[in-house]
Amino acid sequence: MLRFIFTRLSLVVPTFIGITLLVFVLIRLIPGDPIETMAGERGIDPARHAQLLKEYGFDQPVLVQYGLYLSRLVHGDLGRSIVTHEPVISEFQTLFPATIELSVCAILFALCLGLPAGVIAAVRRNSIFDHGVMGISLTGYSMPIFWWGLLLILLFSVQLGWTPVSGRIAVQYYIEPVTGFLLIDALLAGDVGAFRSALSHLVLPMIVLGTVPLAVIARMTRSAMLEVLGEDYIRTARAKGLPRWRVIAIHALRNALIPVVTVIGLQVGVLFTGAILTETIFSWPGVGKWLIEAINRRDYPVLQGGTLLIGTIVMVVNLLVDVTYGLINPRIRYTR
């Protein structure tokens, strides 16, 4: 098992270096030199320009610049935002919990609906319920979620007035950040009103972001269950006279969950893609909205640092999923 983990870990290092290289090269591809870009349309006088070039190390050969970039990275320095002059890393740290809170709730939403729907669809194969679940999940999978969000706002916020249109909490509440997750912080502060407000702000973005994972989980659960239900040991369990629900919920589901767990892990990338769109629609103060604003303001250090951080996080989560998969399914460990 240790060997398996080490082989997986050894693959992570080149990938990480690759991501830093990609991000470094991409930003260098922007026409014009970085100082001019930072100065923007106001321009900059030549003496100051030369001084800044030297200060940031842009007069060095590209390889040296990459080395400098890496050594700054190792020290946790991802540069400063051109607009706010705040360190990129600290901006990321403030905004990231909002994205995590939204993503975790979205995945929970997807699991709570997707798992039972997939199981029931598999058990009642070819029934109306099965066809319904498959049809709805293919529709969910094809959904342009930026439009789906607008539709939900139109129905629940505008027509019915049940939920707020945007933001994370109503302005009258201030919750001292402890964990960064508003739902938990509100409960810790014992403020029920704030908790309800945060929850009502969360519902629509959660549904929007959870839609694609929901579709994927329902489809995956169904096909994994169908495969497992055809196995001999299931027939044996039934022949022993075990109750039907026990065979399905305990014998079959446990094995069917293995591929489902992997799929959930692999949804991290999908969640970030979705978070960029969802946060933009609902003005949710997370890293997705932050990156889009960075592009609109041509704030390249933020774009560079944010991309690197998100890429690294996705990579680490994928690694964890791989290792967990090896832990729960010994067959994988030995065939690699």
Rounded to the nearest whole angstrom, what is the least distance from the CB of residue 191 to other proteins in the complex? 31
Rounded to whole angstroms, the Cα distance separating 229 from 233 reads 9
Six-digit token pair at 192? 């029920």
- Contact call for residues 306 and 283 (beta carbons, < 8 A): no
Could you say which residues in the range 312-331 bind other proteins, by CB under 8 A? 314-315, 318
Q: Does 144 bind other proteins (CB under 8 A)?
A: yes
Rounded to the nearest whole angstrom, what is the least distance from the CB of residue 103 to other proteins in the complex? 12
DSSP designation for 80: B
Burial of residue 226, with CB atoms counted within 10 A of its CB: 0-12 exposed, 13-18 middle, 19 or more buried? middle
Q: Does 82 bind other proteins (CB under 8 A)?
A: no
Rounded to the nearest whole angstrom, what is the least distance from the CB of residue 29 to other proteins in the complex? 5
Rounded to whole angstroms, the Cα distance separating 265 from 216 reads 12
Part of the chain binding other proteins (CB under 8 A), chosen from 104-112, 122-130, 149-157, 193-201: 149-157
Rounded to the nearest whole angstrom, what is the least distance from the CB of residue 24 to other proteins in the complex? 12
Rounded to whole angstroms, the Cα distance separating 332 from 7 reads 13
Could you say which residues in the range 205-224 bind other proteins, by CB under 8 A? none
Coil, strand or helix at 58: coil
Part of the chain binding other proteins (CB under 8 A), chosen from 17-25, 80-88, 189-197, 202-210: 17-25
> Of 11 and 50, which CB lies nearer to other proteins in the complex structure?
11
Part of the chain binding other proteins (CB under 8 A), chosen from 63-71, 89-97, 134-142, 242-250: 134-142
Six-digit token pair at 306? 């944010």
Contacts of 12 (CB under 8 A, 6+ apart): 315, 316, 319
Part of the chain binding other proteins (CB under 8 A), chosen from 84-92, 116-124, 138-146, 257-265: 138-146
Rounded to the nearest whole angstrom, what is the least distance from the CB of residue 147 to other proteins in the complex? 3
Specify the residue for token string 């997939």: 118
Q: Does 161 bind other proteins (CB under 8 A)?
A: no
- Contact call for residues 164 and 157 (beta carbons, < 8 A): yes
Q: Does 166 bind other proteins (CB under 8 A)?
A: no
> Of 53 and 314, which CB lies nearer to other proteins in the complex structure?
314
Rounded to the nearest whole angstrom, what is the least distance from the CB of residue 336 to other proteins in the complex? 16
One residue of 1, 9, 26, 50 binding other proteins per CB under 8 A: 26
Rounded to whole angstroms, the Cα distance separating 195 from 189 reads 9
Coil, strand or helix at 87: strand
Rounded to the nearest whole angstrom, what is the least distance from the CB of residue 260 to other proteins in the complex? 20
- The interface mask with other proteins, positions 254-273, x = CB under 8 A, is ---------------xx-xx
Q: Does 141 bind other proteins (CB under 8 A)?
A: yes
Compute CA distances 312 → 164, 330, 332, whole Å: 33, 27, 24
- Contact call for residues 122 and 255 (beta carbons, < 8 A): no
Rounded to whole angstroms, the Cα distance separating 210 from 203 reads 10
One residue of 71, 93, 139, 283 binding other proteins per CB under 8 A: 139
Rounded to whole angstroms, the Cα distance separating 210 from 145 reads 10
> Of 185 and 322, which CB lies nearer to other proteins in the complex structure?
322
Contacts of 49 (CB under 8 A, 6+ apart): 35, 36, 39
Q: Which residues bind other proteins (CB under 8 A)?
A: 14-15, 18-19, 22-23, 26-27, 29-30, 138-139, 141-144, 146-148, 150-151, 153-154, 158, 269-270, 272-273, 276-277, 280, 291-292, 295-296, 303, 307, 310-311, 314-315, 318
